[in-house]
Copies of this chain bind each other. A is one copy, B any other.
Amino acid sequence: MREKADSDLVRRQNRLLLMEALRQHGAMARVEMGRHTGLSPASITTISSQLIADGILEEAHAAHAAAEGPQRRGRPVTRIDFNPRSANVVAVKVSIDGIELALADGRGAILARRTARTATYDAGPLAFGKLVADEITTLLAGARVPKRRVARAGIAVQGVADSQAGTVVWSPAFRERNISVAATIEGQLGIPCRVANDANMIAEGLIGSDRQRYGGTAAVVFMGYGVGMGLIINGQVYHGPTGAAAEFGHMNHLPDGPLCRCGRRGCVEAYVADYSLLRWASGHAVTQPPSSNAIPQQDMLALEAAAHRGDPAAVAAYAKAGEALGFGLARLIAILTPSRIVLAGPGTRAMPLIRPHLERALEQGVVDELRRTVEIEVVPIGTDMIVKGTIDRALRHVDREIFAHGPLTKRGRELETVA
């Protein structure tokens, strides 16, 4: 309750309402929009025709409509959807051994992809931004989309991002700290850019795919090379005061526990991440600093196979991981009581090995009343959800910050009238 209400707010809010319904349910007729938004048919007509005039929406071709099934009595509906040419967005996912780019149209459909293998780990604080900007330029050139058509770029990265400053404060993908990214891209390409945590982007993607299910209060834990978490609070992805994400992976489990990549001891990640499992299983000292190299998938598959065969060291490693994860979730539940916890990422392949220990830890760590209100689900989500989430977020931002306001030409027209 901070903004005053006037006709401007009313227009923005209702335009946005209509666009949100479209993003969530896809192309629909005006009557349907009325049902979703609660607006009268008269208002839907007004708003939708303005959005069409602004080039943001478009009516579906009649041919398409005919394919919609048996025609009922009465005037047939005309379905409306986002105009793919309304805007483009770019998503960039940063890994330790390269970056992955995707270009999407105004409907969120991916027009082009690109993968660049580079040693991000050694890139300097300024060089990296330039590298990404160059890759984006190449991506756009290949798809013949001019820069000015790109309304926004989103960068997803493991670790702590400061979305206000547009920097990567700390990430396992970089040796150095405070890598500046957004400023370079905005400066070099003129494209507004946001840096965000990758697990948050998964949360964003889940909301986009099923608002019903993930729209309340939920936590998404991504297990893999590291451990990340995205929090959804009251239907919105939570970004802390500085725009940093929740750092569930670096929440302490036990004082003086195993050494973590972050330099502290006993973090959840130091039990649950790929490198931690390998370290336990191989009998290395838990104070041995983890390697910063990427871990090949086959190493993890081998470890899982060993555990399934009953190899004691491997079994013990997964037991440790389950206990740490369980107590970590127990503590999360004590603080937030989310109604849903989603476990995702390649690490969930080993859930059968982890689960019993996780459940036991939850029993020990949470009051029954709270435990019962939380549903824990395992979802086979890969890293592609990061890209989808980044695109979703970028488009929603464009909807809110640009499309909801009305056409630029309107302000132009006003000026013409005055002059």
Contacts and interface: CB of A to CB of B under 8 A. Distances in A.
Contacts of A330: 251-252
A10 B6 contact: yes
Contacts of A17: 1, 4-5
Nearest to A364: B255
B10 A160 contact: no
A403 interface: no
Interface string A220-243: 000000000101010000101110
B241 A370 contact: no
A13 B1 CA distance: 7
A116 interface: no
Contact of A13 (B5, B361, B365): B5
Interface stretch (A64-72, A301-309, A331-339): A331-339
B367 A250 contact: yes
Interface string A251-289: 110111000001111100000000000000000000000
A246 B170 contact: no
Interface in A3-51: 4-7, 9-11, 13-14, 16-17, 20, 37-39
A118 interface: no
A169 interface: yes
Contacts of A244: 337, 370
A5 B1 contact: no
A247 interface: yes
A4 B39 contact: yes
Interface in A310-346: 323, 327, 330-332, 334-339
A324 to B, nearest CB: 10
A170 B233 CA distance: 24
Q: Which of A240, A330, A364 has the most CB of B within 10 A?
A: A240
Interface residues of A, number: 63
A79 to B, nearest CB: 21
Contact of A242 (B7, B38, B250, B337): B337
A192 interface: no
22 contacts: A4-B13, A5-B5, A5-B10, A6-B10, A9-B10, A10-B10, A169-B369, A216-B241, A229-B335, A241-B373, A242-B373, A244-B337, A251-B331, A252-B327, A252-B364, A252-B365, A252-B366, A255-B364, A264-B367, A265-B364, A266-B364, A335-B335
Given A5-B10, A5-B11, A252-B334, 17 more contacts: A1-B13, A5-B14, A9-B10, A170-B367, A231-B336, A238-B336, A242-B337, A246-B337, A247-B370, A250-B367, A251-B331, A251-B335, A252-B331, A252-B366, A255-B361, A264-B365, A335-B336
